[in-house]
Every structure is written in C-alpha cells, then in structure tokens.
Amino acid sequence: MRVIVAGATGLVGSEMLKVLEERWPAGTMDLIPVASERSAGREVFFSGKHVRVVTMEEALGLGAEAALFSAGSAFSWEWGPRLAEKGVRVIDNSSAWRMDPGVPLVVPEINPMDLKKDHFLIANPNCSTIQMLMALKPLHDAWGLEEVVVSTYQAVTGTGRKALQQLEDERMARSCASPAYPYPIDLNLIPQVDVFLDNGYTKEELKMRQESQKILHLPVLRVSATCVRVPITGGHSESIAATFRQDVSVEEARLLLGRMPGVSLLDEPEKRVYPMPLYCRGKNEVFVGRLRRDPDHSRRLHFWVVADNLRKGAATNAVQILEFIRAQGWI
C-alpha cells in the first residue's frame, strides 16, 4: 500500500511513522512523507530506509491510496477534498472537518459503523475527546450517559514542536525565539487550551463537548470541560465526573472497563496503582483508575484517565482507521 503521511516531520507525523512501522510488516507499505517547502528534501527513516520528504504538490502524482494528515487545519481544508476527489482515503487529524455532517468522526473501538465505503474524507477526533470516550463508552452502554464534567491536564506535545521547544528553552534558561504560549509553561499551569469563545469556554473545551455528542450519537449530551496546559512533555490526563441514568457501582465499572478493547485498568489504590502520564509514553492504550462513586450522588462516577496524546490521541487512532478501511477491502 502506498500512503502519504502529511506533517511527517512534526510530532504527530513522526509518531505515525513509528506506529505504522510497528503494525505493518516491513516492505508492505510505501511511504510518501510530506511536509512544507521548509522541510522538503530532508529525509525521514522508515522501515529501515531513508525516504525523501516531498511537498504535497509533488506527492499528488505519486499514486497514493491513502493519506494520513497532521499538518494543521489550513492544509486539511485545502488538500483533504482534493485528494478525496481523486479516490484517496484521507484520515485527517486536524479539527478542520470533524464537525462536518458529511464527514465521519471515528474512534474504531467506539463507532466504526459510522465509516462507510463511500467516505473518502474521515476525521480523527481531538486527543482529549478520544481518551475520555474510550473510558465512557462501556459505562454509557451499561447505564446511559447523562452528563460529563471533565478537567484536563494536557502535555505540551499537544501543541506541537514549537511548544516542546518553549518548555526545553525555559528549562535550560535559554530565551525562546518563538514561544507557543503567552506565558511561561515550566513551573506553571495555563488554564487555556486554544482560543476563547464568547461563552467563556475555549475552543478545545467546545471540541470535547461537540465531538463527544457526535461520536456517541447523543446530540444533547451535557459536557462541560476545563482544559489546562501542564508542563510535562507527553501524556494527557483527565479527571472525569460522569453522571448516568442508572445507579453506578465501582465493581461493575471495573468489569466493564476491563473488557473494553484498548483500555487498561490501573485501579488498585491500596497499592498506589493508578495511571500516570510518565508511564503511558509510547503506549497505545488508554489507562483508567481512581474509580469512585460520588458520596452524594448514586448515579455519578469519578475517575482518572491517562493516555499518550501522540499515540491513541492522534497517530494510533488514525492508523487504526486505516487498518479498518483496509480490513473492509476498501483499499
């Protein structure tokens, strides 16, 4: 299979190369790495070979069957429909197409049925949304989800290379030529992820609400998020309070989460076993722990969810979508 990875020199794109290498036997995939003019001509290492990075214009004539995009929304607006019209299956990591009613927004463990043969443009959800829904889905299936209140603790890699550079510069006491954030991030927390909207929420917080409603097919689901940037290099964490239509039990929640593909339960508080971002790096699973029933509300469960934002939050989920399409015989 011949696959374009657009944004191949960025944080998500580099992780995509690793995930593809891990999951596709060497020699079964021809990679076409794409980046902007700035990086064209450089090389990336894939499946034991150096592969030259090209621009999208050059890639257009190279006969790709699928494309994984992680080069920002402007790139996706321009190139997504162009490639899709040529019959290339485009899996887009940006937020450009996620809420378009004609574009499926897919987490393969949750709503693969939304992906149909005639879909050529497919959206990958926001990293924070994916890991939250991986934990909520089996609980929702059992008890019926009514409301979610979530606070996130998001690593700087969620913003891209520039943010990682800012954190490294601050830690080395170097001046940062082009900071990603309006404040220092080291030794700090920034209660703003993406831009503010008129209602006081940020765009990231709105994405968590709207994307959850779309993926779970619950158009009036109540979701209120507070998204916070934290000075760690990888792994997003979330504190979630979920209210259901029925009474909840921690024991049953543990069973349900234990059976959910892609979820790993780490919940033995007496042994200090709970998920932490340092230990999720490079892993594809979503880790869940700290399960508690609300002391004042028998239908409310509290828990803690951690995942590698560059893996299940971006690259792994996109590659799983590609695998699903391939398994259906659509490529």
Choices 31-39, 190-198, 224-232, 286-294; region in contact with ligand NAP by CB under 6 A: 31-39
Whole-number minimum distance, CB 293 to ligand NAP, in Å?
Answer: 32
66 binds ligand NAP (CB under 6 A): no
- Kind and range of the H or E run holding 21: helix 11-23
CA atoms within a 13 Å half-sphere pointing along the CA-CB vector of 285: 16
Q: Which of residues 3-22 bind ligand NAP (CB under 6 A)?
A: 6-13
Choices 138-146, 272-280, 283-291, 308-316; region in contact with ligand NAP by CB under 6 A: 308-316
C-alpha–C-alpha distance, residues 75 and 20, integer Å:
22
72 binds ligand NAP (CB under 6 A): yes
Whole-number minimum distance, CB 269 to ligand NAP, in Å?
Answer: 29
Q: Which of residues 120-159 bind ligand NAP (CB under 6 A)?
A: 127, 157-158
Closer residue to ligand NAP, CB minimum distance, 267 or 308: 308
Is 280 among the catalytic positions?
A: no
Name the token pair of 252.
Answer: 């049953």
Q: Which residue in 212, 237, 309, 316 binds ligand NAP (CB under 6 A)?
A: 309
Is 127 among the catalytic positions?
A: yes
C-alpha–C-alpha distance, residues 155 and 231, integer Å:
6
DSSP label at residue 175: P
Whole-number minimum distance, CB 144 to ligand NAP, in Å?
Answer: 29
Name the token pair of 57.
Answer: 């214009």
DSSP label at residue 124: P
215 binds ligand NAP (CB under 6 A): no
The backbone torsions φ and ψ at residue 46, rounded to the nearest 5 degrees and listed phi first, read -145, 125
Whole-number minimum distance, CB 123 to ligand NAP, in Å?
Answer: 10
Closer residue to ligand NAP, CB minimum distance, 6 or 242: 6
Whole-number minimum distance, CB 229 to ligand NAP, in Å?
Answer: 12
CB contact set of 48 (below 8 Å; sequence gap of 6+): 26
C-alpha–C-alpha distance, residues 214 and 161, integer Å:
29
Name the token pair of 292.
Answer: 């508690």
97 binds ligand NAP (CB under 6 A): no
The backbone torsions φ and ψ at residue 257, rounded to the nearest 5 degrees and listed phi first, read -70, -35
Orientation of helix 316-327 relative to helix 11-23, angle to 10°: 40
Query: For the chain, where are the E strands, in sequence order?
Result: 2-6, 30-34, 43-46, 49-52, 66-69, 89-92, 121-123, 145-154, 222-229, 236-244, 263-265, 286-293, 300-307
C-alpha–C-alpha distance, residues 326 and 1, integer Å:
10
Whether 226 contacts 152, CB under 8 Å: yes
Per-residue string for binding with ligand NAP, 160-199, x by CB under 6 A? Answer: xxx-------------------------------------
Whole-number minimum distance, CB 15 to ligand NAP, in Å?
Answer: 8
Q: Which of 119, 140, 236, 280 is catalytic?
A: 236
Choices 64-72, 167-175, 214-222, 261-269; region in contact with ligand NAP by CB under 6 A: 64-72
35 binds ligand NAP (CB under 6 A): yes
Q: Which of 127, 140, 227, 280 is catalytic?
A: 127
Q: Which of residues 247-266 bind ligand NAP (CB under 6 A)?
A: none
Kindly list the catalytic residues.
Answer: 127, 236
Question: Which residues here bind ligand NAP, judged by CB under 6 A?
Answer: 6-13, 34-36, 38-39, 56, 70-73, 75, 93-94, 127, 157-158, 160-162, 309-310, 313-314
